[in-house]
Structure 1
Amino acid sequence: MSERNLYGGFPERVAKAIDLIGGPAEVMRKTGVTLTTLARWKKGEADPSRMNLIKMAEAAEVNIAWLATGEGPMRTESVASANHSPGIAGGDRQADEDRSKQAPAQVIDLEQHREAVDDLDYVLLTKVADAFDYFWEERGMEPPPVEIESAMVEHVYKHFADKKNVTVDGILGHLRRLKNILIKSA
């Protein structure tokens, strides 16, 4: 397998998988992958973990080799039938309902917010995520749990959403001014 096949076109395949799943909100609901992470994959700025790649392939009902490398068919009969076995994302509705009952605090109705999610400025979202990465790295700290960091990212994203020419450095400066609040929250 050539290096070109291994890495070339991955952002496009991720975008196709997101479309097959039903958009970023559905991907987040079915896989647990955050919107920030999806944006970074689509821009080719980050690669998914093996587990997230598996979740994405299952949710999109695509061949994992195709998603990861572009090799082989996008879909095969075995992918579709495997994804309809109990407990696989997109498969057994009862298993999905059982999982949602186990963690009710994490279940949200993304359909209500689909328009807002689909209208996200992924460039700004990526800048905000990058600024947070730099912020935690500067302090030698691990990021807080995803639920807390997601709320922080959302707050900062909203703060900068209507501003022009936003830079990662500008966002990082804002985070530095808020450092005491952020560190206490983490």
Structure 2
Amino acid sequence: MNVLLAEDHKLVRQGTRFYLESMGVNVVGEATNGREAVEMAGTHHPDVVVMDIHLPELTGVEATRRIRHDYPDIRILVLTAYDEPAYVHALLDAGADGFILKTAELAELYKALNEVAVGRKVYDAETLARARKHISEMSTQIEGLTDRELEVLAQASQGKTNKEIGKILFISDRTVQGHLKNIYQKFGVTSRTEAVAIALQHGFISMEGANNV
């Protein structure tokens, strides 16, 4: 089995490589950010990419989305410290084949890797159920957004001020603030960072564009 590791923490990356190689897995490369992961997936074409979520330059979720789009036969196993429904939802939407927590035993990682390599999905049933509930609860709120509110969110995700957004969309900054207030109410949040995160999870805006939030 050929595996690509995408992990920005050197200690975790090296420890994972040492263990996998001791089990006979061929680690073809190590990516330290999401953009490298996408590029190296194309270069090495591994059977599986072991992907962290929080990667610099391009998040693990967006890197997963791009790899699955460009190389649909490459499997993605996400190695993460987070099992919150929002993260799992984002992973499902991006096309990840499974996830395993960093608190798991190394033997669990190896087992999950083999499951994913042969086309099986590796998701904890309880966590998956919570993620589906989250999706169901959010769907109505997302559908309630207007086109203009989505445009405002897209600009906000790039770190633009209300005044800058207004100039781009040819509306006043006060109108921008009004749209943001409506979005917060629909999402049940109090900040643009939270609103952008929800929009990202549903694929309405690009994660690459949201690096400044």
What is the TM-score when the length of structure 1 is the normalising length? Answer: 0.28
Higher helix share: 1
Q: Greater Rg, structure 1 or structure 2?
A: 2
Q: Which has the higher contact order (CA 8 A, sep 6+)?
A: 1
What is the TM-score when the length of structure 2 is the normalising length? Answer: 0.25
